[in-house]
Structure 1
């Protein structure tokens, strides 16, 4: 018997959906199918008698018809048209949703057909119900809210004795409390949804098997012991627990299969006979060797070959159950250095984590197309990792990350029931509610489910069982044992901070000391004893709190009066900042810096332009500092920027806005994360080269350094030839002399250009690898380190950039042309005798709306007098690409609109 693998990225649950409602939901052994849709109604209207509601034939004509397999209550009501997301997000409309309607249970209901019979067994599988649910089938209880508890506590229930040909399933979800339930919460990121995320937010599935059922397929791999021996034969072990569902022993045959990527090699298949005692659970273990394995790498370092594996059980040549999974050959380990900072090691190579913290949609909506776009943005930025703090999402996200070569860092969240320890004094409820024995059971069920879901994905870098605080002495072994139960193969981290640790995990090696609000660029380069979030060690979440949307995005969710408040009322709490009561409800710290550094805004447009300059500068400095410090005495081993994206339209904490529009924070982060790059250290006034590749080539590079005055006159020029080393950083030159940047009397521009050839391709033509322009004031911002709080280090005196407001106007000519179906090329030329400062480009359709999603090769560029630059915009995803014009403008460049030819 030969088992055929599923198509890449396609799950069994979606590949064998019934053709119509009259067909059986499942009809083959080994088949798993999600409940495809729901009827939904509040108990205030239909009561709570699930025994009655779970019988076939109930009149649900007055219920909400939900045409999706999973959604929270508000998500479902958006799906059915009761609410409109655009309206909910406008101004303060979300505040006006009546939360009282969600203070009672709601019922999800579906009727479906099965074909019960002798030797057939059926299971109901849950994967995520927030946060508690009673489950009934055909008038009988399957599980109580005490059993089905915890938003991540997936369970498998044997429903064989309850099924009929016609079946009615009713799931009653109970109101969720972020402080008292194991939920998927928000802390202070954004307002809380009125339903607190209550509902069936992951699929509920039905599975059919024969007399023997298999649990999740675990796949254990082992590759060569060194980087040089990665192509040694690799071992693959397929594991699954087999449950004999009968009262007699069964002799069965286990079939293992491993399929090479893209069918390039014949599959490896083998069998093993097993005897299963009555009503027993037996671990099936099948091992084989794969010669010359294709190694999975993060995208910047290599390819992402994905293998498929299948394990099946047959009895007398009849299939009883089968399970499949994808996997990749890669190894991930970690180690602590002498400073107790963690370094990850991927395929035997030290790996600097560069990424940001992810959030799902506020209503937990399932959106693989958006995930695909978001991860494409990650690659464009030059990031290699995304942290999912308590937002572990769906398997589809991990499948996309597997394919694209992006690491994910799942884990449990902070600041609510998940970290309700007696030693956690940062919780809203103080003293925190003490975990009960039932809570530890829920935690165990949650970890078991997530471990099973994540174990085979090569994109999973690690698991953080704690976030702000380490887990207590009872929870720690529960989590570790659950991960071990599913043969976890990547590092397990006790927490994302250095506040404490369990002896079972040891020190985490991660710091979480802020900042979360605005700090100047020199913050990251401090030369004092390393302090707080500056560039050393592993920063698990830290950033300058920036992410100002552009005007086109702002108008989608802010009213005219909201827009006025944005730039005129810095101390007024803004609903689209963080949750009420947090330290981040105003833009006061940011606004103070903007006014002191750039001058009081004269209009909304002026405020937004200065904000984009501030955002670009802040993110670039953070990512560059960590890149520079990778090879220093106290290395910067990892950076998770706070945050990547927003759960809803927000005024801060993002690399791109809710509408997927990149702006200042995006392009600053992209510049700071280039694969090969040349960087300016604000504090030491030094130039550094960064090489984030991993190969055996030493590269000869040329660094051009120029300093230009605001009048456009050259003040300093130098060219330095250097040798670039893979996976490292190195000092190029000092600019602290009097002829360079030693004693500035006015603001200047600094341009660093990195040029070189590719030795892997025999040299070739010299090309520009990195072009980086800084604007520098006479003095740096002066920080008050002694007044640092958990979220910011105050500034005592600010750098002064007001002279840049007096730049003479620059004339920039713009040429635009279409290149193929998915690209637009913009050619810029500065014909002035002064720099064209911070020139931004926006691609628009015929109605003047943003063309999104897209990536620009570069944006917010500063052109030297006479300089020409060509920039390419590319479509992301499969959407309609209809660019009509490009809007171009800058700090001293008049805005113009140019038609796409």
Structure 2
């Protein structure tokens, strides 16, 4: 905000980036201060740097998409660009965090600028890749194809979007190739953050005027000035919200589901015939309070989208393919291997177990493979069921990954031929309205410092808190959100949770932990809410 550099803020955001399971940040044009790269070097976070789209940097005669009226480059512009490249190369060359440099974003540099950029980089003994652009429109001959795609989406798409990969010619951002910037357009801040930057009338508009243009979206000239696409899906899939609280919770569910599916899709199809080789999420966070495009919000509050992304980015994981109704065993590590157990359970909205199975599998580093078909198990869904996948290490008895889905009778229907650059329309939506009628679940929640429970020790900011949840009911407890607060009831931030926004099957018990990062206030309680549990305040014991 106002281009003010805040080293402490970036330190937290780099820690968040790694906590959520990401390994690379892409910069476009705003290549940041040297301290940015020093922090990335120290923490082991890679950076894709590069020039910017939509302005003078890409004012080429063949660029018909310029958002501003800018003349084609003159001789003076080439001099300025050359000096800029020399400066950037000299500043970045010594940083091990720098993964590559993109000399073009949406468009490739012309035949004068491209060699100039390459020569400036080579003059500093540049050894990282130089990429012609982040899209696949074309390329500078001196560099060749960039190997990336920039086909969207940027607005909401359903979770099956990522797994629907064929025919690849019109499947755009689905999970194949390297997506240089794409996401489902989510990132709704949770209610405590919304109240920090929205007036009461703004808050009312979120659920009473779902198609209204909003200041805290993109600009008035943008395709993203309102939440119409997002809200249409929310209303169709979940029913009209009954209150602001109801809207925000349904938004968190939507964000969690959307982000989890994107990262699971790219991880699951890593070894596919057309492999999904990587993805840069649009966008990591905003420099201004925003209602979309956040993994975490301006106030550094991790919400539904954050934890969906975190689940989908686990190093060892077990995931559900919505299109083929199959289970994938994912291993993104370099060294984890051996015997694993995958337990599958399907439970209906009344808590009745309709399917269960267990599989003994072997995992190997840097692989992903389909291990089970659930076509028959999920073939006769009445309305909605819960699917729980648990990956365990039998040698230690530990749970490596636990993952719960809500699966409707039919997946969303995508209209691929009508795709725009920013979204693929949906003609028929999944129906999750049965989850609005879940019986109330009785969940026991306790919270205590880790030192009292024999768990992890303290962080530099304070005690790690262990939160234990037990569903005492015979019905699922759906989407329980936990928030750490101080003595005044304010969010304790920044924090990292091992898991959050969780769903418990009947009689299930789990524990999660939360650690305050440097600068956070002292926590005194955990607030809990969910789709079918009463709100609760749990004082730290």
TM category (shorter chain) comes to over 0.9
Counterpart Cα distance in 2 of 1:698 and 1:900: 38
- Cα distance in structure 2, aligned partners of 1:409 and 1:722: 36
1:662 aligns with 2:299: no
- Per the alignment, residue 415 of structure 2 pairs with 784
Find the counterpart in structure 1 of residue 332 from structure 2.
692
Q: C-alpha displacement at 1:456, in angstroms?
A: 1.0
Say if 2:150 and 2:182, in contact at 8 Å, map to a contact too: yes
Residue 766 of structure 1 corresponds to which residue in structure 2? Answer: 397
TM-score, length basis structure 1: 0.58
For residue 742 of structure 1, report the CA deviation from its aligned partner.
Answer: 2.0
Residue 56 of structure 2 corresponds to residue 417 of structure 1: yes
Partners of 1:624 and 1:811 in 2: how far apart?
31
- CA shift for structure 1 position 564: 1.1
Residue among 360, 364, 367 paired with 1:725: 364
Structure 1 residues 242-321: aligned runs within 5 Å: none
CA distance, structure 1, for counterparts of residue 238 and residue 435 of structure 2: 8
Alignment of 1:589-604 (within 5 A): 589-604=229-244
- How far 1:746 moved relative to its partner? 1.9
Alignment of 1:100-499 (within 5 A): 362-429=1-68, 432-499=70-137
Indicate the residue corresponding to 1:800 in structure 2. Answer: 431
- Aligned pairs for 1:864-875 (under 5 A) are 864-875=505-516
Shift of 1:880: 4.3
- Residue 516 (str. 1) matches residue 154 (str. 2): yes
Stretches of structure 2 that go unaligned for 5 or more consecutive residues are 451-457
Q: How many angstroms apart in 2 are the aligned matches of 1:389 and 1:767?
A: 41
Give secondary structure in 1 for the equivalent of 2:365: coil
2:494–2:520 Cα contact (<8 Å) kept: no
Shift of 1:490: 0.6
Q: Which has the higher helix share?
A: 2
Equivalent residue, structure 1, for 2:443? 812
**Residue 754 of structure 1: which of 379, 391, 396 is its match?**
391
Q: As a proportion of its length, which structure holds more strand?
A: 1
- Residue 445 of structure 1: SS of its match in structure 2? helix
SS at match of 1:894: coil
Equivalent residue, structure 2, for 1:843: 484
Measured at CA, do residues 442 and 527 of structure 1 come closer, stay the same or move farther in structure 2, by a change above 3 Å?
Answer: closer
Structure 1 residue 745, shift from structure 2 partner: 2.3
Whether 1:534 aligns to 2:165 is no
- The Cα offsets for residues 95-119 of structure 1, whole Å up to 9 and x where unpaired, read as xxxxxxxxxxxxxxxxxxxxxxxxx
Instruction: Give the secondary-structure state (helix, strand or coil) at the position aligned to 2:270.
Output: helix
Distance 2:497 2:380 in 1: 36
CA RMSD of aligned residues (A): 1.0
Q: How many residues align?
A: 529
Cα deviation for residue 527 of structure 1 reads 4.2
Larger radius of gyration: 1
Q: Which residue of 2 aligns with 1:210?
A: none
Distance apart, 1:458 and its partner CA: 0.8
Quote the Cα distance in structure 1 between the aligned partners of 2:364 and 2:30: 37
State the alpha-carbon separation in 2 of the partners of residues 472 and 822 from structure 1.
55
Query: Which protein, 1 or 2, shows the higher relative CO under an 8 Å CA cutoff with sep ≥ 6?
Result: 2
Question: How far does residue 743 in structure 1 lie from its aligned partner after superposition?
Answer: 3.0
Q: Name the SS of the counterpart of 1:638 in structure 2.
A: strand
Report Cα offsets for 1:486-513 as digits up to 9, x if no partner: 0111111000000111111100110000
Return the alpha-carbon distance in structure 1 between the equivalents of residues 189 and 40 of structure 2.
Answer: 26
In structure 2, what is the Cα distance between the partners aligned to 1:527 and 1:557?
Answer: 39
TM-score scaled by length of structure 2: 0.97
Shift of 1:654: 0.7
Q: Unaligned 5+ residue runs, structure 1?
A: 1-361, 758-762
* Matched residue, 1:736: 375
Question: In the TM superposition, what is the alpha-carbon distance from 1:555 to its structure 2 partner?
Answer: 1.0
Aligned to 1:357: none
Assess if the C-alpha contact under 8 Å between 1:754 and 1:768 holds in 2: yes
- Aligned to 2:64, the other structure's residue is in SS state coil
Tell whether 2:206 aligns with 1:572. no
CA distance in 1 between counterparts of 2:440 and 2:224 reads 37
- Report the 3-state secondary structure (helix = DSSP H, G, I; strand = E; otherwise coil) of the residue aligned with 1:612: helix
